[in-house]
Structure 1
Amino acid sequence: MLTITGLRSLTAGALCAGLSAIPVAQAASSDQPTLDEVRFGVPPWPGITVKSEVASQILEALGYQTKQNQLAVSVILNALANDDLDVYLAGWYPQEKHMLAPLLAEGSVKELVNNIPEVLTGIAVTDAAWQGGVRSIADLDDHAERFDHRIYGIEAGSGINDAVLKVIEAGRFGLDDWQLQASSSAAMLAQVGQKVERDEWTAFIGWQPHWMNIVYDMHYLEDVDDSGAAELKGHVATVVRADLAERDPDVARLFSQLVVDSEIQSNWVYALSYEQQDVEDIATNWIGSHQDIVATWLEGVEATDGTPGIEAVRAQFE
């Protein structure tokens, strides 16, 4: 479990205890509405863990308290709709579209920005297979023996696993005699790592951003006929409580401008999950060495004492 010190805290037990542990943020008495505390919903995924920590440290430099609540996605979205949380930085499309669409339609939450404009999920192959001519999902069955008629998947019930299973069950692209080997993401990545080291042909579920894109020599297969099992492109949205801009315009402005690319988040995931660095250290070091990016996030944003936001952050991270 992650332990966040100082003004931050992360609540992992709220999944069992419900949302009673999440206090309602109080507006500070000032001419401009201000939240005393900014409450994050954080699923137990490495990319969003680091991203939320980066945002938390910036907010604290601006004079806010923050709290990171580790919860399941469905619980996070319900909490945002009920104003029990303020922000969720991991609205992954298209996988979470069915959960977000009703809340957006009724106006109980809002999306501010695509904080990662482009993400990718789908079937990937090792470099050995790519160099052997496997470039699309339609090429797999031509080399079925080399792949042992197998695609290594992640957790059963995940959106991309289900998409691959539909292709197999429908017998598309000659894959009717193939199998999807579901397992935990960690187990799948360990298996793929061994295959890469042995320079073997392997097909597996990949996604970016993730450290696998840095460590493994891998390639994503092109899709054919919109199968939905390869080259599934999307984005990650910032989702907030519906009245955030009214409660605190500066916080809303920061979140509407906080955008990173897939490479940045892949490096965050690599540092946390692969190198096992401390999440606070990752965030602190990144903010200190990327002031140019942080400045774009803080354009027009003031600290709680009225000073320009970027000045407050620079003073904190000198």
Structure 2
Amino acid sequence: MTISPLLPRSLAATAALVPLGMSLPAMADLDTVRFGVPPWPGVTVKSEVAAELLEAMGYQTRQSGLAVSVILNGVAQGDLEAYLGGWYPVEEDMVEPLVEQGKVVKAAANIDGAMSGLVVPDYVYDAGVHTVADLAAHRDQFDGEILGIEAGTGINNAVNAAIDGDLAGLGDWSLRESSTAAMLAQAGQKIENHEWVTFIGWEPHWMNISYDLRYLEDSDGAGVAGIESTVWTVLPADLEQRDPDVYRFFSQFVVDIEDQNQWVYAHSYQEKDADAVASQWIATHLDTVGRWLEGVEAKNGEPAIDTVRARFD
């Protein structure tokens, strides 16, 4: 999918056409806010929630499904206005150089305290498996196997490195790599049968609603559990100048992890359309929306929360 580039407005060229002594008009607000959306259900619904609020404020929106590298390039070049999935530390090496070059800004940590790493069902945790090192003491009950996601992902690589380095007693374990859907299907079957299983988990995700899971603590610096993460809103560096109200909204758009868990559960697990999930949530959480829109004006100059309430209340 390609993105139509936004033609830059040259203030220098405009100034040449203005008679001496006249001041330049302020740059016009945005008409369309363009989102880059990777194929992740959490970012899909989160982007839809933001888009529906912006549309209620009088903007048009466009969401393009793209790879993360393409999205970040689009934001840096001004071809996109927003990326709501800047997952740190995984994407830190991709985003920080653009921040240092002054091409993008991290406007807000829209999800704080996200978690990833090895998980076990609560009945396994209650049996004494609290850390990665505890896995080795119960190797036979796990068949010496960790269920993983797609090959080449950061967390899979970390697990393989721990196995290769015999960290936390994992040297004789194996990682079964597969798709995320296949991993969760197999883990779900084992949980239903009350079998022992450990697999890669993360939050926000619907797995945290469907299953009673416990995140293990790391051991021996294995780097495969208790990985705290932050998800950043990445915007073009000049967006605050181009449209202060859009920028302010994004800078205040901070989502509770439990809300995003519910979004992902409804969209990915219950297979509801993202727009239906977003609009229903907005209509029942206008107090939260009000905090996001504090001090923000709609395109018609009214308080943004008033235009949102007119549509959703």
Q: TM-score range by the shorter chain?
A: over 0.9
1:24 has 2:19 as partner: no
The answer to whether residue 213 in structure 2 is matched with residue 218 in structure 1 is: yes
Tell me the residue number matched to 2:15.
none
1:1-318 matches, within 5 Å, as 14=1, 19=2, 21-24=3-6, 33-318=28-313
Local SS of the residue matching 2:138: helix
Structure 2 contact 116–201 (Cα < 8 Å) conserved: yes
Equivalent in the alignment of 1:9: none
CA contact (8 A) 1:26 1:35 kept: no
**Distance in 2 (alpha carbons) for counterparts of 1:89 and 1:25:** 23
User: How far 1:128 moved relative to its partner?
Assistant: 2.6
Between Structure 1 and Structure 2, whose CA radius of gyration is higher?
2
- Structure 1, residues 297-317: CA drift from partner, whole Å, max 9, x if none? 000100001000000000011
Shift, 1:259, TM fit: 0.3
The answer for the alignment partner of 2:17 in structure 1 is none
SS at match of 1:228: coil
Q: Deviations over 1:50-87 (max 9, x none)?
A: 00000000000000000001000000001111111110
Cα 1:30–1:261 change in 2 (3 A) is farther
SS at match of 2:189: helix
Amino acid at match of 2:163: I
The alpha-carbon distance between structure 1 residues 26 and 104, as it changes in their structure 2 partners (threshold 3 A), is closer
CA offset digits 1:163-188 (Å, max 9, x no partner): 11111100011111100111000000
Which residue type is aligned with residue 42 of structure 2?
G
- State the AA in 2 paired with 1:121: S
Matched position secondary structure for 1:240:
strand
Q: Aligned residue for 1:11?
A: none
Residue 23 of structure 1: how far off its partner (Å):
4.1
- Tell whether the 8 Å contact from 1:128 to 1:200 is kept in structure 2 after alignment: no
The size of the alignment, in residue pairs, is: 299
- CA spacing shift, 1:261–1:226, aligned 2, 3 Å: farther
Distance 1:163 1:315 in 2: 49
Q: How far apart, CA to CA, are the structure 1 residues paired with 2:261 and 2:129?
A: 25
* One-letter identity of the residue aligned with 2:273: D
Q: Would the aligned equivalents of 2:283 and 2:312 in 1 still touch at CA under 8 Å? A: yes
Q: Is the 8 A contact 1:153 1:183 kept in 2?
A: yes
Kept after mapping to 2: 8 A contact 1:35/1:248: yes
- The 8 Å contact of residues 168 and 220 in structure 2, kept in 1 or not, is answered as no
Give the Cα–Cα distance (whole angstroms) in 1 for the partners of residues 261 and 4 of structure 2. Answer: 30
Is the 8 Å Cα contact of residues 168 and 222 (structure 2) preserved in structure 1? no
Q: Any gaps of 5 or more consecutive residues in structure 1? A: 1-13
TM-score, normalised with respect to structure 1: 0.91
Aligned-residue offset at 1:26: 7.8
Per-residue deviation at 1:25?
7.0
Cα distance 1:22–1:125, how it changes in 2: closer, same or farther (>3 A)? Answer: same
The structural deviation recorded for 1:32 is: 6.3
Aligned residues of 1:25 and 1:35 also touching (Cα < 8 A): no
Shift of 1:217: 1.4
Question: What's the offset of the Cα at 1:218?
Answer: 1.2
Partner of 2:13: none
Q: In structure 2, how many angstroms separate the alpha carbons of the residues matched to 1:82 and 1:33?
A: 19
Q: Once the two structures are superposed, what CA deviation does each residue of 1:84-117 show, in whole Å capped at 9, x if it has no partner?
A: 1110000001111111111111111110010001
Alignment identity in percent?
54
| Structure 1 position 227, deviation (Å) | 2.3
Letter in 2 for 1:273: S
Distance 1:145 1:120, change over 3 A: same
In the aligned structure 2, how far is the partner of 1:297 from the partner of 1:214? 25
Equivalent pair of 1:137/1:173 in contact (CA under 8 Å): yes
Aligned residue identity for 1:207: W
Show structure 2 runs of 5+ residues with no match: 10-23
